[in-house]
Amino acid sequence: MKSTTYDKTPEIQVQGYDEHAWQGWPALLAALNDPLSDAKKTVLVIDCYPGVRLDELEQALKTQFAGSCLLNVEAARRNEEALHALLARNLTDDRVFGVLSCHQLIEFFDPQQLAALRQQVGDASGLVIVYGPGAALVHNGDVLVYADLPRWEIQQRMRSGELGNWGAENNDEDILRRYKRAFFIEWRVFDRHKTPLLQRADFLLDTTVADNPAMVSGDALRAGLAHTVQRPFRVVPFFDPGVWGGQWMKKQFDLDPSKPNYAWCFDCVPEENSLLLRFGDVRIEIPSLDVVLIHPRELLGEKVHARFGAEFPIRFDFLDTIGGQNLSFQVHPLTEYIQQQFGMHYTQDESYYILDAEPDAVVYLGTKTGTDPQAMLDNLHQAAQGQTNFDDARFVNQIPARKHDHFLIPSGTVHCSGSGAMVLEISATPYIFTFKLWDWGRLGMDGLPRPVHLEHGEKVIDWQRDTPWVHEHLVNCIEPMGEGDGWREERTGLHEREFIETRRHWFTKPVTHHTLGGVNVLNLVAGDEARVDSPTGAFEPFVVHYAETFIVPASVGEYRITPWGKGVGQQLATMKAWVRG
């Protein structure tokens, strides 16, 4: 197996709080017992993100606090039928797409039953424990614990059949429908609910690993998050097989060889990834979104925060088709379409940066000059019904893809990566909004037909993006920006309709960068190793390796990237992205 320097579990060391973190139920429950032991009556509230294993939590509480009053807030949750009626407009009948929810969590509970739980807390004596998703709606808590877990872990539990949606007995429902309900509704509602709780919680409970929880004090958690936004950092990547997936990442990153392939790596998608904080011997895994929710201004910068709120608008991920197949042929919605149909305020503009490619690799991009829109749509509809294959050679440009090429893909542009390419996708974050137009007649890995959304896609295709337009505006639009001793800078995009700016730096000597008040996202696209440091010593030096994506918070200001270790003597390159002012 090939050795790799790519770090699959990057950690952030938090100093000064080694005694504020605990591992395993016995240790953390003993620590939790300290602030409870002296009071005659204490209300312990353990609020939870949906997906936390409540049976495990309940058993641990019963063992440690036998004889206490335990109240599960879910007893006051509206029943499944009432929830479905409340959410029908957001759920829609579509298998993949819903409408973003603006609900507040309290709407999901029956007011009378919630009042009854509050009364029970008021009438009880001794230790009262209220637990479950929304527990803080019953009582603020004399001691407040928030039990959290990342979205990727939630998805794994969904896929295994362990987990359905919150408030629904649907463990065996189509995974795409369960994910849709979580994405459009549950995660939005619970992120709104948990943000103020994280800011005042006495403890954070990490429930990612079954039967082996970890806990950290609220003060230590908040110190860790504050430390994170003062330095470069990486989130925890995750890798996923797919019907079109390839073999490049498996070999390059030493991934599980028993998997058939790896299609995706989410290398920097804070809405989905984890963040690892190290407190002495204890490692805490939390959603990386927590740092966005708690420190949006320091992380994003004033202008980006003002524009996007507490959302991380830039996404870096990998798409591997080397030894695999074509991606689905697709298009992303125009801004007005995504706003009107799905309630999202910005769309998925993107680009393909080619990290590696086989000799015959191509990118499908834009329609061929002279294409009759109706003829192409008719062909797509016939292909979707199984009557024929889509005649891609007739309608779509196939452009050779070489290592370090950069293809820009503003919304409305039909596109896909062909087989034989390793793509670093640099894009805006709302990645779920992909309208598949043709999927080469494949079934998904679940054995079901992959959903095609022609009814949406045909409404957003920009037919003016034909062969000459694509070559002039979207293919390797590389512009020299400057050079110096041992470095040169190039602007590689993105298109003027896209809010992300990208720059490539080639260097053999140190290069000085500045966040200029906005978050930077970078990937080391050439060379083995580099070091990121502060010219003023403002943060500890940070080492990155080939293909690793890292975030530089807006608050960092000036930083420097220098060839390091195996990278010394090599020509290195970074791709940097930020939100245009």
DSSP 255-266: --TTSS-B-EEE
Q: What percentage of the chain's residues is helix, strand, coil (to nearest 5)?
A: 30, 30, 40
Stretch 331-345: mean pLDDT: 91
What does the pLDDT read at residue 310? Answer: 96
Describe the strand order of the beta sheet including 572-579 as a list of residue ranges.
Answer: 479-484, 487-493, 500-507, 572-579, 520-526, 549-552
**320/385: higher pLDDT:** 320
* Runs of H (alpha helix) within 134-186: 151-159, 175-181
What does the pLDDT read at residue 39? Answer: 64
**Where along the chain do the CATH 2.60.120.10 domains lie?**
272-473, 480-579
What does the pLDDT read at residue 1? Answer: 35
The Cα-based distances of 540 to 12, 222, 232, 360, 459 in angstroms read 11, 19, 9, 43, 50
Residues in the chain: 581
Tell me which residue has tokens 């699959």. Answer: 8
pLDDT digits (tens, 9 = 90+) for 359-406: 999 999 999 999 999 999 999 999 998 899 999 999 999 999 999 999
What does the pLDDT read at residue 446? Answer: 74
Q: Does residue 141 carry a pLDDT above 80?
A: yes
What does the pLDDT read at residue 172? Answer: 93
**Where along the chain do the CATH 3.40.50.300 domains lie?**
11-228
- The span from the CA of 20 to the CA of 279, in Å, is 8
Positive or negative: CA dihedral 216, 220, 226, 228:
negative
Structure token digits, residue 316: 């870096």
Contact at 8 Å (CB) between 266 and 237?
A: yes
| Max CA pair span of the chain | 81
Task: Mention every residue, 6+ apart, whose C-beta is less than 8 A from residue 259.
Answer: 241, 250
Phi, psi of 445 (to 5 degrees): -70, -15
Count CA atoms within 13 Å of residue 548 on its CB side: 25
Read off the pLDDT band of 34 (50, 70, 90): confident
Read off the pLDDT band of 524 (50, 70, 90): very high
Stretch 168-173: mean pLDDT: 94
Give the least confident one: 50-54, 419-423, 484-488, 494-498: 494-498
Structure token digits, residue 288: 């990386």
Positive or negative: CA dihedral 398, 399, 403, 407:
negative
What does the pLDDT read at residue 346? Answer: 85
Q: Does residue 250 carry a pLDDT above 60?
A: yes
- The span from the CA of 400 to the CA of 237, in Å, is 29
Query: b or e along 439-452 (b: 16 or more beta carbons within 10 Å of the residue's beta carbon)?
Result: bbeeeebeeeebbb
Number of other residues whose CB lies within 10 A of the CB of residue 119: 10
Stretch 139-156: mean pLDDT: 96
Read off the pLDDT band of 344 (50, 70, 90): confident
Q: Does residue 3 carry a pLDDT above 60?
A: no
Stretch 114-131: mean pLDDT: 96
The residue among 91, 57, 87 whose CA lies nearest residue 74 is 57
pTM of the model: 0.96
Angle at 251 between CA 245 and CA 257, to 5 degrees: 75
Architecture of domain 480-579: Sandwich (2.60)
- The span from the CA of 89 to the CA of 323, in Å, is 42
Q: Does residue 431 carry a pLDDT above 50?
A: yes
Q: Does residue 453 carry a pLDDT above 90?
A: yes
Task: Mention every residue, 6+ apart, whose C-beta is less than 8 A from residue 10.
Answer: 233, 234, 235, 236, 276, 548
Stretch 226-252: mean pLDDT: 97
What does the pLDDT read at residue 2? Answer: 44
What does the pLDDT read at residue 560? Answer: 98
Stretch 502-516: mean pLDDT: 98
Average pLDDT, the chain: 95
- The span from the CA of 186 to the CA of 179, in Å, is 10
Stretch 198-220: mean pLDDT: 97
Phi, psi of 336 (to 5 degrees): -65, -30
What does the pLDDT read at residue 119? Answer: 98
- Paired strand residues for 64: none
Q: Which CATH number does the domain 272-473 belong to among 3.30.300.130, 2.60.120.10, 2.170.190.11, 1.10.10.10?
A: 2.60.120.10
Q: Which CATH superfamily is domain 11-228 in?
A: P-loop containing nucleotide triphosphate hydrolases (3.40.50.300)
What does the pLDDT read at residue 38? Answer: 67
- The span from the CA of 114 to the CA of 29, in Å, is 27
